[in-house]
Structure 1
Amino acid sequence: MKTMVISMMLIFLITMIITSMIMIFSKKSITDMQKSTPFECGFNPMSYNRLPFSIHFFMIAVIFLIFDIEIILIMPIVLTYKTAMLMNWLLTSIMFTIILLLGLLHEWNYGMLNWTK
């Protein structure tokens, strides 16, 4: 019990030393105007806010986010292969893949995957 308390105090002490060293030696620039202004998707926030924005770029970004989330959903399917019942696992993974392929076909038919038109 005593060694655990000593080790916890030692960890706390090392953490506090490292934190204080970071705060002392970190390079802070208060006068840098570019770092203190907000950054909004590459646009200057002080300029005219009705600049033309490519809707196609926005749609590509949304498609990327959707497929990124789908990859996150695929990972548990792959990891549960050995623990789940085979028929339920197979049916779920095939249905999920069919939904993904139908969405991809829909985007392809509407030309959302073509970067230049």
Structure 2
Amino acid sequence: MFMILILTSMFILISNILMILSMMISKKSNLDREKCSPFECGFDPKSSARNPFSLHFFLITVIFLIFDVEIALIFPMIKTFKLVNIFIWMKISIFFILILLLGLYHEWNQNMLNWSN
């Protein structure tokens, strides 16, 4: 047990020494002007790269991803229809679709499905 502790501490010590040594030797500069500027095919950008992003577009994208994952979860339910007990399958399917409909109603009630404000 003591030998394992000694080996573990040696491995941690050697790895830390190597990490510190590699950070000291590396030529990497974090404050390089060229690395901090945006890249547009080798040309200087025409406008600022830090333009505000539409939050509404982002929320619609998240809603799309959620429903895309839900469809991926429904497909195996269709394949297992003949393999499992019909009553258990119906309970699980109705519960899952009820959760989806409640989520859809909540998004509709919050006006998240409307593109324009």
- When residues 52 and 77 of structure 1 are mapped into structure 2, their CA distance, relative to the original with a 3 A threshold, is same
What is the Cα deviation at residue 52 of structure 1? 1.4
- Identical residues among aligned pairs (%): 55
Deviation at 1:50, TM superposition (A): 2.9
Q: TM-score, normalised by structure 1?
A: 0.60
Provide, for residues 73-98 of structure 1, a one-character-per-residue CA deviation record: whole Å limited to 9, x for no partner.
00000110000111110000000000
Count of paired positions = 78
Unaligned 5+ runs, structure 2: 1-39
Amino acid aligned to 1:89: W
What residue identity is the alignment partner of 1:84? V
AA aligned to 1:106 is: H
Q: Which residue in the other structure is 1:111 paired with?
A: 111
RMSD of aligned Cα (Å): 2.5
CA drift at 1:49: 3.9
Unmatched runs of 5 consecutive residues or more in structure 1 = 1-32, 37-43
User: In the alignment, does 2:93 pair up with 1:93?
Assistant: yes
Q: What is the letter of the counterpart of residue 63 of structure 1? A: I
User: 2:102 corresponds to which residue?
Assistant: 102
Higher Rg: 2
- Aligned pair in 2 of structure 1 residues 92, 116: CA closer, same or farther (>3 Å)? same
